[in-house]
């Protein structure tokens, strides 16, 4: 029996290290010997670009094309089509602006919320973990992602506005769970971009723990604020390659171990 777990990194707010978390978790799992597929489900192609594929919009075989093939019931080999083999040990389904056009087209599609799930079910036998990076919005593509997922990881920046967006996301997850995916669960809330030397950041962490700690797992690992993480994204490599002995790489390694322990 295949025990592949499908995770999604989700946030209603951009700039919370959501994409960095997806990539770092995927590569962190691959470093531990697991077979991992990363799926970029954000039309901005941020995960694709952060892994060194600098012009996502010039790519032909992307998530949008895969979903179109699923909609049209076209024959293709899901185990190879559109999958890139990254030199840090993960596979990647890239994404670009074409996904935004598909979002509009999905409105007319029968069973439009389950298109991505159909693809994921075809490839999950090939992997131990599938990590999907979703867009910071709640359109039909994001609903597709939530329907396809087993567990959600919610990166939350240690800032007040980030917490405000969390409430709406949790409500949406609840609605999807009731009507479209009964098995959907929240694996945990990951505090990111934390400057724990400030009283403000410590207050935000306390606020999160008080508001959600009893109902939702809050990972012990916290990702510190660091310019190294931004540099890694810009260079198109993981934090493990850019600053392997740095505090962000160490934090993501601990976080990866927590995810494995929870699986």
Is residue 1 scored above 60 in pLDDT?
no
Question: In this prediction, what percent of the chain has a pLDDT beyond 90?
Answer: 70
Q: What is the DSSP letter of 14?
A: S
d(CA 74, CA 89): 29
Say what the pLDDT of residue 155 is: 94
Closest listed residue to residue 111, CA positions, set 77, 147, 74: 147
Phi–psi pair at 6, nearest 5 degrees: -110, 115
For 129-175, write each residue's pLDDT tens digit: 999 999 988 889 999 999 999 999 999 987 777 777 788 889 889 99
63: left (phi over 0), alpha (psi -120 to 50) or beta: alpha
Is residue 154 in some structural domain? yes
Whole-number mean pLDDT of the chain?
Answer: 92
Instruction: Pick the more confident residue, 11 or 90.
Output: 90
Query: Tokens in use for 86?
Result: 């990254």
- Rounded to two decimals, the pTM is 0.94
Question: In this prediction, what percent of the chain has a pLDDT beyond 70?
Answer: 99
For 178-230, write each residue's pLDDT tens digit: 999 999 999 999 999 998 788 888 888 898 889 898 999 999 999 999 898 88
Contacts from 102-110 at CB under 8 Å and sequence distance 24+?
102/64, 102/67, 102/68, 102/141, 103/43, 103/139, 103/140, 103/141, 105/71, 106/71, 106/140, 106/141, 106/144, 107/140, 109/71
Q: For the domain that residue 111 is a member of, what is the CATH number? A: 3.40.50.300
For 119-130, write each residue's pLDDT tens digit: 999 999 999 999
Which segment, 50-54, 115-119, 206-210, is predicted with the most confidence on average?
115-119
DSSP string, 196-241: TTSHHHHHHHHHHHHHHTTTS-EEEEEEEP-HHHHHHHHHTS-HHH
Is residue 58 scored above 70 in pLDDT?
yes
* Burial (Cβ within 10 Å: 0-12, 13-18, ≥19) of residue 135: buried
Is residue 172 in some structural domain? yes
Determine how many CB atoms are found less than 10 A away from the CB of residue 93: 26
Say what the pLDDT of residue 118 is: 96
Q: Which residue range is the domain that position 47 belongs to? A: 5-256
Please, where are the H alpha helices in 51-114? 63-72, 98-105
Domain count, the chain: 1
d(CA 44, CA 186): 25
Is residue 171 in some structural domain? yes
Is residue 233 in some structural domain? yes
Is residue 263 in some structural domain? no
* Burial (Cβ within 10 Å: 0-12, 13-18, ≥19) of residue 125: exposed
Say what the pLDDT of residue 220 is: 94
Is residue 261 in some structural domain? no
Alpha-carbon separation of residue 92 from 151, 180, 188 (angstroms): 19, 26, 24
Is residue 46 in some structural domain? yes
Instruction: Pick the more confident residue, 83 or 167.
Output: 83
Q: Is the dihedral of CA 140, 142, 143, 148 positive or negative?
A: positive
Tell me which of 101-105, 188-192, 247-251 is least confident.
101-105
Is residue 262 in some structural domain? no
């Amino acid at each position: 029996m295949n025990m592949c777990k499908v995770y999604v990194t989700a946030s209603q707010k951009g700039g919370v290290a959501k994409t960095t978390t997806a990539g770092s978790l995927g590569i962190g799992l691959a470093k531990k010997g697991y077979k991992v597929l990363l799926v970029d489900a954000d039309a901005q192609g941020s995960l694709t670009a952060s892994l060194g594929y600098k012009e996502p919009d010039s790519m032909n075989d992307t998530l949008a094309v895969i979903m179109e093939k699923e909609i049209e019931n076209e024959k293709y080999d899901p185990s190879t089509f559109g999958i890139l083999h990254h030199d840090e040990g993960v596979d990647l389904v890239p994404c670009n602006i074409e996904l935004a056009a598909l979002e509009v087209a999905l409105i007319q599609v029968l069973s439009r919320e389950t298109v991505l799930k159909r693809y994921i079910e075809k490839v999950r036998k090939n992997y131990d973990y599938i990590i999907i990076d979703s867009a910071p919005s709640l359109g039909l593509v994001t609903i597709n992602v939530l329907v396809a997922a087993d567990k959600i990881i919610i990166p939350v920046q240690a800032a007040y506005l980030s917490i405000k967006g969390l409430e709406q996301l949790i409500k949406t997850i609840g609605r999807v769970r009731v009507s479209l995916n009964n098995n959907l669960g929240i694996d945990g809330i990951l505090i990111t971009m934390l400057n724990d030397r400030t009283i403000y950041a410590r207050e935000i962490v306390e606020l999160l723990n008080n508001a959600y700690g009893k109902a939702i797992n809050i990972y012990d690992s916290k990702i510190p604020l660091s310019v190294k993480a931004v540099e890694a994204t810009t260079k198109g490599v993981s934090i493990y390659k850019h600053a392997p002995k740095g505090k962000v790489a160490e934090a993501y390694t601990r976080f990866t171990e927590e995810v494995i322990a929870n699986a």
